[in-house]
Structure 1
Amino acid sequence: MQLQVINSPFNEEQVKLLNSLLSTLTENQKMWLSGYLAYQQTTNSPLQEAPEMLPPNTEQVASKEVTILFGSQTGNAQGLAENMSGRLKEQGFQVTLSSMNEFKPNRIKKVQNLLILVSTHGEGDPPDTALSFYEFLNSKRAPQLTDLRFSVLSLGDSSYEFFCQTGKDFDKRLEELGGKRLSPRTDCDLDYDEPAEEWFEGVLTSLSETDSTEKQISSLASMETKAANEQASYSRTNPFKAEILENINLNGRGSNKETRHLELSLEESNLEFEPGDSLGIYPENDPALVDLLIWEMNWNPDEMVKVNKQGDTRSLRNALISNYEITVLTKPLLEKAAELFSSNDLHGLLASGNEEELRTYIEGRDLLDLVRDFALKEVPSSTFLSILRKIPARLYSIASSLRANPDEVHLTIGAVRYEAHGRDRTGVCSVQCAERAQPGDVLPVFIQKNQNFRLPANPDTPIIMIGPGTGVAPFRAFLQEREELEAEGKSWLFFGDQHFVTDFLYQVEWQQWLKNGVLTKMDVAFSRDTEEKVYVQDRIKENSQELYQWLEDGAIVYICGDEKRMAHDVHETLITVIEQEGQMSREQAEAYIAEMQQQKRYQRDVY
């Protein structure tokens, strides 16, 4: 483009000089010159005095671009991704951070450095937010990625057969498409903090190879030390000891269930949360079970043992109560136990290759069963502890709004009790809360953010909430929040349990919200009150026409509770409703649901 003298503020000689200069400039130089002229206008600084305004292709501008994609169901992968993004930016990297469902798959062709952090959901399935990107990469539309460098951090639970399967699938597929690994994949169990940190350090080393690696890592360590000194905030690794204010049984006399309503104090914690978030609790094992295990192994309960890499010690009994998981068996644990003990039966079980037989043995058994069934004796306690994993936190959907209940957090916890293999069993955290946690006691807690289960930003948006049993917990928080905000949007709750008289959780509160209009509509299903069992999905079918109209009006659907049965059945019912009322094919109804997910109008908090 040439400047013209007509209508120009420049004289003819200046125009010639400018045209002569502009014809020699690159696009980057033109952009820089534009910025410099704006800068000079405000500062009157000559050219040589503005070194910070160097062209984009100079060494002072970070040349390394990193894309971080996360797929998260409960928020763990997202939290790690956000933390690592911030740390990379501190090191001068240009970082693009995105949830997988918000990332346009075709952009993958332009990515050079890719970090994937993803959890595995259910029986080896991708989390909801990772599904569309996962399907794209495994389709014929996926491009060759020969210029891509990548690394995968996968989160999972080794008590499940398909441990970290989604991360393994991503890692394998990216290699098949031509990508090269920045650093090997790391598979994390429930206690993921240390392996995730080691993975990040390995990734950082690879990313920094051309930029003085030692300087980068040294700077990172300095930054982390500074952050640790400046901020002692409560978190997953530094839980807050929350006092129990109330602990009430919500079920009536004669119920088959025991559902505890806990109110905890967060005073002086500075912890904040939003409706949809979860509270993590670090539980304690049942002391009676610990005593049986110690007796069976002929250990000294007062022996002092190390409980972490820092060398902290406590008595063996206290360590087994507070530090180690003893109620769940996993295949990795059995393999490690086989290396410690000379048990032909245990070796035979593992060597048979019969995965179904192994799953059958593991299900419903604990560490005491293992040592009894295979006569695992005569091993020092410290050696045995070395093969156990740390006791994981239990996550519970928060049942209160911080706006409505400042400095408090409420939970709805169903006590788990059952009989298996000739012994009575109990849920570690749920029965601790039901039987041993009293008002005045404290529980170590932290907030688990869940950006994938959120009220709409627009309070006028209608919402549909489906939560049988304890799955109703977050919807109590939703309505408390909407009441505080005086939201005008319609709301519809589907709730179900066994009996109306004994199991209608928070009945008075729902009725009050119906009366004052915070809750527009409520449908309930009590499965054991009628000869033919009725569930929430049956109530959805009965209201199919109205429900479909709510969807067409932009309503957001929320599902919370059991994944294997309830959430699956509700999902199928919604597809059926959309098929019938929208006069669509099965494929079109599934696409309708997929589009809702993409728009964050179909959100699930299932377990």
Structure 2
Amino acid sequence: MSASPVPLLPPGQPLSPDQAALLDRLTGGLDAAGLWWLSGYAAGLARAGALPAVRSIAAPAAEAVAPPTLAIVYGSQTGNAKRLAESLASQAEAAGLAVRLLRADAYPTRELKNERYLVVVISTQGDGDPPDDARGFVEFIAGKRAPALPELKFAVLGLGDSSYPQFCEIGRRLDERLAELGAARLLERGDADLDLETVATPWIARALEVARETIKAPPRASVTPLRPSAAVPAAPTRDAPFAAELLANQRITGRGSDRDIRHLEISLEGSGLHYEPGDALGVWPVNPPALVDAVIATLGLDGEQAVTIGPDTRSVREALLRKRELTRITRPFLVQHAQRANSDLLAGLLAPEGAASLAALFAQQQLIDLLRTYPASWSASEFVAALRPLAPRLYSIASSQAVVGDEAHLTVAHVEYAVGDGASPDSLRWGAASNFLARTDEGERLPVFIEANERFRLPADASRDVIMIGPGTGVAPFRGFVQHRVEAGASGRNWLVFGNPHARTDFLYQTEWQDALKRGQLHRLDLAFSRDGIRAVGHGDATPPKTYVQHRLREHGRELFAWLESGAHLYVCGDATRMARDVHATLLGVIAEHGGRDAESANDYLNDLQSQGRYARDVY
């Protein structure tokens, strides 16, 4: 038997061959965030004297002084903030700066008082909520335990969606609070919309420039890689997606349902893409052709006229099909359109006192409704430039790769509805990606990529119980969870709480769940069909209340708390605006009632579960 190869190390390195082999094994499976954390951890040990000083062959023989560290903390719901933070960390390290990169829920808040240089990259979830992995971090900084920070220099990059009134609210609050605590800004806050690069790319470049000027980096030693680099084919990414074949496109709601929910099976064969239960599949959509034609006709544009988008030139119709957002109204566009339409009503919506009406407009109308209700003159190039770039949509993967191989399954609600009386063909409205997927035929190809979701993972200990709360299409990742645990032979119990309007037409994956229950692969199934309890009532009769998943949780609160006390992991997936908030409030009530706690300690209990990775949400 041949000896194991020893990793390549720079001449004069202080490690023995055995230590080098251990280091190689340790670092071999780490991702970028893990490597950044490890480097900061090792540097901290060296500063504390826990490890012997390591001499660099390029350093003079003098007492080592720990360089100032740039801490980069990110809070991310869909992965965008994480990706930007990693990019900044990589560039800063390449510039010779000592960097510590941490997810917000891994950041030791007790260390904030000693921090000197801090960059926060954080998204706003929905309309003004922090991402789940940053709730504790945001609450600490906003709360009374936050220390004075006169020595801290900081910068905040906020990410958001300008179709919500509280655009980048969490970034704004953190920026103001850090300044209130006495910290000084390295540079002004950045507020990035869904077209991230427009703001994020120049902001990161400026942040790097300021950091290099402010933090004096020591001379850099030359380092030989631990292992020789080999050419590896680039895996598909968000910006270079894989053209995946659609294998199946099946409606899984019954006849008579007012919902069109699809089960899609997509081939990843030949892509090299891999995913874990809890990850998402990103899809680049093409806007509904009928909607594009309606927008062109409403504005009186020539669909074949050439327009320039960045370095590309294409027709107006192609630009609106593939490059611009048409199903959502954004605040920046509304500002411009209000000026062109000379509308006092739109101007009033944009004033602070019009916030509630503005939120209703964003929620209830699409771009075509705005253009028809408030006519204005636009040239083709100005109109295309004013629209937000089309962004990919992320869908929770409804399968385990350990079971389905080179496939990814999705559960997608096709958004299609009529406005007004619904009589006109022009009354139909669609969701961009859901309509794109619904009208894609089997055998056609879709541009896709994998978006990892490290916050939404099954427990490493397969003996742990899991509680899965997923009404509607929120059940998607739990199909993958159960598949994966069955395949792995997990001994922990599986409890699913599912809800939808009607049992007869809307019980998604009904036969699969019933079969899993019969086989003992699903140990408990609680259902909430909200409209089945509503009967025809006469004049003066009270309408029975609707039953949702949170009501089932409250009914079975004693068992729920007992599962949590015995170490169960709790997962929630689905609508962020109502369901997730109602479920969160119900969980607090269950913990308070059955755990004998007041409201504050119930909140601490749930926060502790989240910090342990035992309470995870995938909400949208």
- TM-score for the superposition, normalised by structure 1: 0.84
* Structure 2 counterpart of 1:108: 112
Aligned counterpart, 1:574: 587
Say yes or no: does 1:375 pair with 2:378. no
**Counterpart in 1 of 2:29?**
none
Residue 480 of structure 1 aligns to a residue in which SS? helix
- Residue of structure 2 aligned with 1:547, choices 542, 560, 577: 560
Give how far 1:554 is off: 0.4
State the shift of 1:163 in Å.
0.1
Q: Does 1:207 align with 2:215?
A: no
Q: CA deviation at 1:300?
A: 1.4
The answer to whether the 8 A contact 1:124-1:166 is kept is yes
Maintained 8 Å contact 2:281/2:450? yes
Residue type at the aligned position of 2:294: L
Residue in 2 that maps onto 1:516: 519
Matched residue of 2:391: which SS? coil
1:228-239 alignment runs, 5 A limit? 232-239=234-241
1:247 to 2:260 alignment: no
- Alignment match of 1:288 (pick from 271, 287, 290): 290
Output aligned runs, 1:176-195, within 5 Å.
Answer: 176-195=180-199
SS in 1 for 2:403: coil
Contact 2:254 2:506 in 1 (8 A): yes
User: Partner residue of 1:411?
Assistant: 410
What is the letter of the counterpart of residue 588 of structure 1? S
Instruction: Tell me what 2:548 maps to.
Output: 535
**What do residues 419-474 of structure 1 show as CA deviations (whole Å, max 9, x unaligned)?**
3456332222112222x211111222221221111111111111100111111000
The residue number in structure 1 matching 2:278 is 276
Residue 445 in structure 1 maps to residue 458 in structure 2: no
Matched, 1:430 2:429: no
Q: Distance in 2 between matches of 1:373 and 1:180?
A: 46
Change (3 A) 1:498 1:350: closer
Q: Distance in 1 between matches of 2:287 and 2:480?
A: 29
1:290-336 CA-to-partner distances (Å, cap 9, x unmatched) read: 112111222211112222x2x21222111111111122112221112
Task: Work out whether residues 244 and 439 of structure 1, in 8 Å CA contact, stay in contact via their aligned partners in 2.
Answer: yes
Following superposition of structure 1 onto structure 2, how do residues 87-236 of structure 1 map, counting pairs within 5 Å? 87-209=91-213, 232-236=234-238
Which residue is equivalent to 1:223? none
Q: Does the 8 Å contact 1:76/1:448 carry over to 2?
A: no
The SS at the match of 2:578 is helix
The range that moved more, 526-535 or 454-463, is 526-535
Residues 68 and 216 in structure 2, CA contact (< 8 A), matched pair in contact too: no
- Look up the equivalent residue of 1:233 and give its one-letter code: A
In structure 2, the CA distance between the partners of 1:28 and 1:396, relative to structure 1 (3 Å rule), is: closer
Q: Secondary structure at the match of 1:386?
A: helix
Cα offsets for 1:157-207 (capped at 9, x unmatched):
000000000001111111122222222211111121342221211111011
Q: Which residue in the other structure is 1:264 paired with? A: 266
1:477 pairs with one of 475, 480, 493 = 480
Structure 2 counterparts to residues 35-74 of structure 1, below 5 A? 51=57, 57=63, 63-74=67-78
Three-state SS of the structure 1 residue aligned to 2:247 is strand
2:489 counterpart residue number: 486
1:507 aligns with 2:510: yes
User: Contact between 2:97 and 2:212, CA under 8 Å: does it hold in 1?
Assistant: no
Distance in 1 between the 2:525 and 2:52 partners?
60
User: Do structure 1's residue 354 and structure 2's residue 357 form an aligned pair?
Assistant: no
User: In the aligned structure 2, how far is the partner of 1:100 from the partner of 1:341?
Assistant: 43
**What CA distance in whole angstroms lies between the structure 2 residues aligned with 1:535 and 1:120?**
26
Contact 1:557 1:602 in 2 (8 A): yes
Question: Structure 1 pair 174/529, CA: closer, same or farther in 2 (3 Å)?
Answer: same
Residue aligning to 1:80:
84
Give the match's secondary structure for 1:243: strand
CA distance in 2, matches of 1:124, 1:32: 43
TM-score by length of 2: 0.83
Q: Cα distance, 1:64 vs. partner?
A: 3.8
Cα distance in 2 between the residues matched to 1:355 and 1:520: 46
CA contact (8 A) 2:499 2:529 kept: yes
The CA deviation at 1:249 is 0.5
Is this contact kept in 1: 2:46–2:52, CA < 8 A?
Answer: no
What's the offset of the Cα at 1:577?
Answer: 2.0
Structure 2 Cα separation of the partners of residues 122 and 34 of structure 1: 48
Instruction: After TM superposition, give the deviation of residue 57 of structure 1 in Å.
Output: 4.9
d(CA) in 1 for partners of 2:273, 2:529: 37
Structure 2 CA distance for aligned equivalents of residues 352 and 33 of structure 1: 56
Describe how 1:260-339 pairs up with structure 2 within 5 A.
260-307=262-309, 309=310, 311-339=311-339
Q: 1:235 deviation in Å?
A: 1.3
Per-residue deviation at 1:210? 6.2
Cα displacement string for residues 79-121 of structure 1 (whole angstroms, at most 9, x for unaligned residues)? 3223332332233222222122222212011111101011112
Give distance in 2, aligned partners of 1:233 and 1:84. 21
Distance 1:456 1:543, change over 3 A: same
The 8 Å contact of residues 32 and 54 in structure 1, kept in 2 or not, is answered as no
What residue identity is the alignment partner of 1:577?
V
Asked if residue 591 in structure 1 is aligned to residue 593 in structure 2, the reply is: no
Q: Is the 8 A contact 1:244 1:438 kept in 2?
A: yes
Q: In the alignment, what sits opposite 1:460?
A: 463
User: Retained in 2: the 8 A contact 1:28–1:55?
Assistant: no
* 8 A contact 1:242–1:266 mirrored in 2: yes
What residue in structure 1 maps to residue 401 of structure 2? Answer: 402
Q: Work out the number of aligned pairs and report it.
A: 552
Cα 1:240–1:62 shift into 2, 3 Å: farther
Report the Cα distance in structure 2 between the residues aligned to 1:55 and 1:536, rounded to whole angstroms: 66
Q: In 1, Cα distance between the equivalents of 2:589 and 2:182?
A: 41
- Separation of aligned partners in 2, 1:211 and 1:163: 31
SS at structure 2 position matched to 1:530: coil
Structure 2: gaps (5+ residues): 1-44, 221-228, 422-426, 535-543
Change (3 A) 1:485 1:88: farther
In 1, the alpha carbon distance for the partners of 2:188 and 2:352 equals 30
Distance, in Å, in 1 between the alignment partners of 2:349 and 2:454 is: 42
CA contact (8 A) 1:246 1:264 kept: yes
**CA distance in 2: counterparts of 1:351 and 1:556, whole angstroms:** 44
CA contact (8 A) 1:370 1:376 kept: no
In the other structure, the counterpart of 1:601 is 614
For residues 559 and 255 of structure 1, do their structure 2 counterparts lie closer, same or farther at Cα, with a shift above 3 Å needed?
Answer: same
Amino acid at match of 1:487: A
Secondary structure of 2:84 counterpart:
helix
Q: Distance in 2 between matches of 1:588 and 1:345?
A: 46
Structure 1 distance, partners of 2:556, 2:62, is: 59
Q: Which amino acid aligns with 1:314?
A: R
Are the counterparts in 1 of residues 470 and 499 from structure 2 also a CA contact under 8 Å? Answer: yes
- Corresponding residue number in structure 2 for 1:3: none
In 2 relative to 1, CA 404–321 (structure 1 residues): closer, same or farther, beyond 3 Å? same
Residue 204 of structure 1 aligns with an amino acid whose one-letter code is L
**Matching residue's letter, 1:259:** I
Distance change >3 Å, CA 195–CA 270, structure 1 → 2 = farther
CA distance in 2, matches of 1:462, 1:352: 47
1:428 and 1:144 mapped to 2: Cα distance? Answer: 47
Which is further off, 79-88 or 318-327?
A: 79-88
